[in-house]
Structure 1
Amino acid sequence: MKRLPASPLPALALPASARSFTRLALSFVLPALMLAGCGSVFGPSAPPPACPEARVVANLERMTQYRPGEGRDLTDVLFEARIGDLAGECGYDENALEVAITVPIQIARGPANQERVARLEYFVAIQDPQGTVIAKRSFPVEVAFERNQSRALFTDELEQRIPLADLNQGPAYRVLLGFQLSEEQMQDNIRRARR
């Protein structure tokens, strides 16, 4: 997975549902990112296979980071972050599938964050048709809040080339994303989901 230059954006940037990523010929925003295929290696009348599903793993879409110590109330929050709606596209050439994804991360500074910086990490994994993770990479993110800013939108642009012996297998692959969480953060997300 190749990371393109990241762009921290102010909170007043376009909402996730209005952004698109235009690196390849076909581009559109999808809530669950079921991407449509594009390409010409399948002949003029044969449509290319669909693109693989890309989604954020359940319970790994948000995180709350507290300051060190036992406190876990609102005054102890350093920041909260959430992965927004993904945008992306894909294309096929003679022997590979190329996937491009835009990952928006919404970050809110908490009362305990006197440093005015949020540091977090998320991962992207590629799963083959059998469910085996064939590639995984983590990406650190650091966002500095301006003096009058309590919210920020960080956008990452990623590309992955997946060699394929059979191009028709492309739709059976999956792209999985999520935050790298501690066990405590994971349990916190599970509790929130049950409410």
Structure 2
Amino acid sequence: MRRAFVVPAALALSLAACGSSKDEYVAYCPEPFTVQDAERLTHFKDGPGRDPRDIAYEAVLTDARSGCKASRRGIDVTLVMRISAVAGPSVSPGTTRVPYFVRVLDASGAVVQGQDFAADFRLSGGSPRGASREELSLFLPHGGNYRIAVGLKPTPEELNYNRRSTGR
């Protein structure tokens, strides 16, 4: 699935004004990093149960990479993420949506752009495994020292479960 988002125009204009010619910038390609506690997600069926029989699916962000092309305007970044999912005993029929996020951070760690997405899977007892390749396009103006944060997006309850199950 291919998606695109752009750093806000005001930021782009202010950062573009920092350089006076195309020869003064050095192109770089920010590598994505996975946010701690956001690389896996265990999702339970609706209701009070939280033992292994109540797991609807488990998902893992298995890889995230970037590729860049520099231009006079800035850097076009192609971000590719791979997400895998496994059906649990309580998987629902139909489409399983695994939420994930992408955040562009500036040098101070402030989020300058971010968006939430979902990877779709068709999981069932007969087809318990799935993999998705998510491709996104970003535009970053020259002059920033950007980092790209990625991860699955657990609910607070799922996050607590993940932390307990991994001993954090």
Q: Same fold (TM over 0.5)?
A: yes
Q: Displacement, 1:95?
A: 2.7
Cα distance in 2, alignment partners of residues 88 and 112 from structure 1? 35
Equivalent positions of 1:154-193 (< 5 A) are 154-164=132-142, 166=143, 169=144, 172-193=145-166
1:111 maps to 2:89: yes
The residue matched to 1:68 in structure 2 has which SS?
A: coil
The letter of the residue matching 1:181 is P
Q: Displacement, 1:140?
A: 2.1
TM-score (norm 2): 0.79
| Unaligned 5+ runs, structure 1 | 5-40
TM-score (norm 1): 0.69
Cα distance in 1, alignment partners of residues 39 and 125 from structure 2? 27
The letter of the residue matching 2:38 is L
Equivalent positions of 1:22-171 (< 5 A) are 42=23, 48-145=26-123, 148-164=126-142, 166=143, 169=144
The letter of the residue matching 1:182 is T
- Percent identical across equivalent pairs? 27
Q: Displacement, 1:194?
A: 2.4
The letter of the residue matching 1:53 is E
CA contact (8 A) 1:60 1:189 kept: no
The runs of 4+ residues in structure 1 deviating greater than 6 Å are: none
Cα distance in 2, alignment partners of residues 146 and 71 from structure 1? 20
Cα distance in 2, alignment partners of residues 186 and 101 from structure 1? 25
| Unaligned 5+ runs, structure 2 | 5-21
Check 1:191–1:78 CA distance in 2 against 1; reply closer, same or farther (3 A cut).
same
